Amino acid sequence: MKISELGGEFKLIERLTRKSDDPNIIVDVGDDAAVIRMGEKYLLLTTDMLCEGDHFSLDYFTPRQIGIKAMVSNQSDIAAMGGTPLYALVSLALTENTNVETIEGIYEGMYFACREYGGSIIGGDTTHSNQVIISLTLIGEVERSRLVTRAGAKPGDLIYVSGQLGGSTAGLNLHRQDIKGFDRVKLMHTEPFPRFDISAQVSASATAMEDVSDGLASEIRNICEASKTGALIYADKVPIEAEVSDAAAKLGQSALDYALYGGEDFELVYTVPPNLKGKVPGYLVGEITKKKGIILIEGEARSQLTRFGYDHFRE
């Protein structure tokens, strides 16, 4: 049976996962990072694999940007749990023809992201492959009182996002179609940054949190599934920069679609109790409901979402 016949990668992960009975495992498969009790604190563990062609292209990424993106995509997972990054392990699969300068550039980018946002590279593995693949594991820590998982949103909670969405997908499409200009939008795809600033401000009060790696709709669905709730999304309030809207128009596509179903924006989406309305940073984009299902409200129209983020084995 092919993965597509099974229903995609999320079905696959469900099928493969077995629960451990180790009492120190607080959160395992299914959140931004795994959480382990370790003394007074919690240890956070996350890993991301980036493949040439699927996650980056040497055609429009500099090696340094590839390194930045690899590290940031993991740092963002640590931010989404309320934590701080500590230690990274980097595995690289390289071809005979990969240039040493390219690899040095990738490391340059990873070291830059560590200096800027935290963490030290302490080990890894180098091996041969038919394409360039970066597998990065990041260990972080979080005070117990500041841990925020996907599960914990309550009906009535407000949904916020930390910043503008859709830019990464717009940037990717601009690059792929080789459209001139929109340099700042292109950088949203090639040089993302993690929102530790926002995480630090909201982690003590947020009831659920995630980073936007697979589109806002998908992340809100994840929170709802883990929290056993539904949600309303106010389409008109989803923050999208004018330049991103312009880029989408130029591409003949919808910036709102990019925000909802694109991904890799690495902003945070978090839920807070209704009494914190206006008291947390970010943009109010929806609310948690008791009734299951994700409803998108666009002007007068209400529609139940059935389409979510990117699946490597479905589209």
Distance CA 65, CA 92 (A): 16
Contact 43, 141 (CB under 8 A): yes
As measured in angstroms, the least distance from the Cβ of 125 to a second copy is: 5
The binding track of 78-117 with respect to a second copy, each residue x by CB under 8 A or -, is: --------xx-x-xxxx-xxxxxx-xx--x---x------
Q: Name the one range near a second copy by CB under 8 A: 19-27, 192-200, 252-260, 278-286.
A: 19-27
Q: Give the containing element (helix H, strand E) for 69.
A: helix 63-80
Round to whole Å and give the CA distance between 129 and 121.
Answer: 22
| Contact status: 133 vs a second copy (CB under 8 A) | yes
> Can you give 173-223 as a three-state secondary structure string?
HHHHCCCCCCHHHHHHHHCCCCCHHHHHHHCCCCCEEEECCCCHHHHHHHH
139 binds a second copy (CB under 8 A): yes
Sequence-distant (≥ 6) Cβ neighbours of residue 273 within 8 angstroms:
154, 156, 157, 158, 205, 207
Q: Which of 14, 38, 144, 302 binds a second copy (CB under 8 A)?
A: 38
Q: Shortest approach of a second copy to residue 71 CB, angstroms?
A: 14
Query: What gap in Å lies between CA 104 and CA 67, rounded to an integer?
Result: 9
User: Pairing state of beta strands 84-94 and 120-128?
Assistant: parallel
Among 37, 58, 62, 137, binds a second copy (CB under 8 A): 137
Give CA–CA dist 108/65, Å, rounded: 9
In the complex, the smallest distance separating the C-beta of residue 86 from a second copy, rounded to whole angstroms, is 8
Taking the C-alpha atoms of residue 8 and residue 3, their distance in angstroms, rounded to an integer, is 6
Binding of residue 33 to a second copy (CB under 8 A) = yes
- Which residues partner with 128 through β-bridges? 94
Nearer to a second copy, 127 or 145 (CB): 127
Q: DSSP assignment, residue 27?
A: E
Stretch that binds a second copy, among 28-36, 173-181, 251-259, 283-291 (CB under 8 A): 28-36
CB of 5 to a second copy, least distance (A): 8
Span near a second copy by CB under 8 A; candidates 16-24, 218-226, 255-263, 301-309: 16-24
Is residue 14 part of the contact set for a second copy (CB under 8 A)? no
CB-nearer residue toward a second copy: 24 or 177: 24
Candidate list 57, 70, 81, 127; residue touching a second copy; CB under 8 A: 127
Judged by DSSP in three states, 58 sits in coil
Residue 53 as a binder of a second copy (CB under 8 A): the answer is yes
* Closer residue to a second copy in complex, CB, 124/156: 124
Toward a second copy, which CB reaches closer, 16 or 242?
A: 16
Q: Could you say which of 12, 235, 280, 284 contacts a second copy (CB under 8 A)? A: 12
Return the structure tokens found at 243.
């330049």
- 26: which 2 tokens? 């607080």
AA identity, residue 193: F
b/e code 76-115 from CB counts within 10 Å (16+ = b): bbbbbbbbbbbebebbbbbeeebeeebbebbbbbbbbbbe
Per CB under 8 A, residues contacting a second copy are: 1-6, 9, 12-13, 15-16, 18, 20, 22, 25, 28-29, 33-34, 36, 38-39, 43, 45-51, 53-55, 86-87, 89, 91-94, 96-101, 103-104, 107, 111, 120-131, 133, 135, 137, 139, 312-313
